[in-house]
Amino acid sequence: MATDLQIAALKIVSVNPATGEVLRELECAGEGVVEAAVARARAAQAAWAELGLRRRIEVLREFQGKLYEKKSEIAAAITREVGKPLVEALVTEVLVVLDAARFLIDNAWGLLRDEPVPHGNLVTKLKSGWLVREPHGVIGIISPWNYPFSIPATETLAALVAGNAVVLKPSELTPLVALELASLLHAAGVPRDVFQVVVGEGPAGAALLRSPIDKLVFTGSVPTGKRIAAAAAERLLPVVLELGGKDPMLVLDDADVDVASSAAVWGAFVNAGQACLSVERCYVHRSLYESFARACAEKTKQLRMGNGMDSYTDVGPMIQERQVRIVESHVEDAKARGARVLAGGTRLPELGVNFYAPTVLADVTQDMRIMREETFGPVLPVMACDNDDEAVRLANDSEYGLAASVWTRDRKRGERLARRIHAGTVMVNDVISCFGISEAPHGGVKASGVGRTHGRFGLDEMVRVKYLDMDRVPGMKKVWWHGYGESFRRQMEGFLDMQFARGLGTRMRGALRAAGVLNRKQL
């Protein structure tokens, strides 16, 4: 079977991970191609911004309509290139993008229009001011293979509606989905130079980082994110970095075992566990531990694996054999240190080189690789804990802080614990779906990255905020201008007393002293 990525003579080959079928061969963009794309984007961006916010919103509305019309075709393209079940492509990718467009269509005007700024200081009462949100210019986006449509599309839509041009470098494993996105956007009215896709491997991403873009949005690994942050710091290039997670699931002693175990199985195995929001650590109160682990194992064994184009498939292949080896090494390490395999734990060569059985591990410990490193595969490690405090401590004992979940019948208890967990998002009695809530920001703390995508905060990342100030009486000299002296000092002390003294008498006397400033001689 062909490898998942072949680069020869500056070519990239897109391969179906389920079947090994070669989908398409593409030219690999070199540095010159990337620089030219950014130059074209720079030249086209001004006209796109001058088009106006209302018109750009209408373009997004047109895009939404075209995506809806082609929803099944786009989902099939995602499944062929990534391997995930077709229904997951529809729900976790197409639906997410349709709703992201809905959010921006409904809210971009209110969030991006000029905003008046009140002036509380008496000195500035003769001024008016407002905030203006301006596009950065050219936004570079480097997106991953695991959600090759929803991640770059949600970021791109926010950038475009704010008036930016976008140059997208998709993963070399999933370039065709990015080209489908480009086709939809161009058909909707986005000029070709305003949104461009450059196909390439790591060097193409590095070239995009070196190019004169105005901001970079990157989703990927922590090591790569750190290298990007260091390079960006050299020229103070602003970045948004979403760098993955090791998301914990806390199952409290009053949780519904049936519901929570179903959530754990879906949260660990959706997209074959290849999601930054996957459940990668599960801490269960000791009183429920055995029943919960058993329920997870029983449900996992019922999952149907195969080609994602088969409507009965629950779990598809992993993206490439290299990723399978990482999962395999984590499981073997856990087994060597005493973990029990309750389900799975092996490759499934009869299905193909990229298939690994959904795996449930019990009796794991916090020092195992499976509990500390991002596995990014279909493994659910389950560990017992004795109380809420221990569960929170274990959840926070990680370099990552993307998301987490708490499972309990007591909403107030769940909220209390959620507030103590160090993560960008904490869900009570649900997992992963936060990514599909268009109003909610997505991003993490600690090694999980900086900045946010989605919602109001994601839109804020796509603009520069400028403060504009207008003086209402331009013909009057300002009292704080030059022409200082002892009397002016006393007047200013009186002015401070008038505004900030605690006692009414002191404030009144201060007002009398300050009044003389109106007759002050100035330069």
Active site residues: 242, 276
Least Cα distance to 343 among 378, 306, 375 occurs for 378
Q: Which residues of 368-388 are buried (b: 16+ CB within 10 A; e: fewer)?
A: bebbbbbbbbbbbbbbbbeeb
CA angle (102, 107, 112) in 5-degree steps: 135
Structure token digits, residue 116: 């008046």
Instruction: Give the C-alpha separation, 23 to 21, whole Å.
Output: 6
Q: Any bridge partners for residue 403, and if so which?
A: 425
Which residue type occupies 384?
A
DSSP assignment of 251-267 equals E-TTS-HHHHHHHHHHH
**374 Cβ neighbours under 8 A, 6+ residues apart:** 221, 222, 244, 245, 246, 280, 400
Least Cα distance to 388 among 417, 359, 345 occurs for 417
Structure token digits, residue 375: 């596995």
What is the widest separation between alpha-carbon atoms in the chain? 93
Instruction: Give the C-alpha separation, 49 to 165, whole Å.
Output: 9
Instruction: Give the C-alpha separation, 448 to 472, whole Å.
Output: 47
Q: Which residues of 85-115 are buried (b: 16+ CB within 10 A; e: fewer)?
A: bbebbbebbbebbbbbbebbbebbeebbeee
Q: Please, are residues 342 and 297 in contact by the beta-carbon 8 Å criterion?
A: yes
DSSP assignment of 417-469 equals HHHHS-SSEEEES--SGGGG-TTS-B--SGGGEES-BSHHHHHHTTEEEEEEE
Instruction: Give the C-alpha separation, 203 to 112, whole Å.
Output: 35
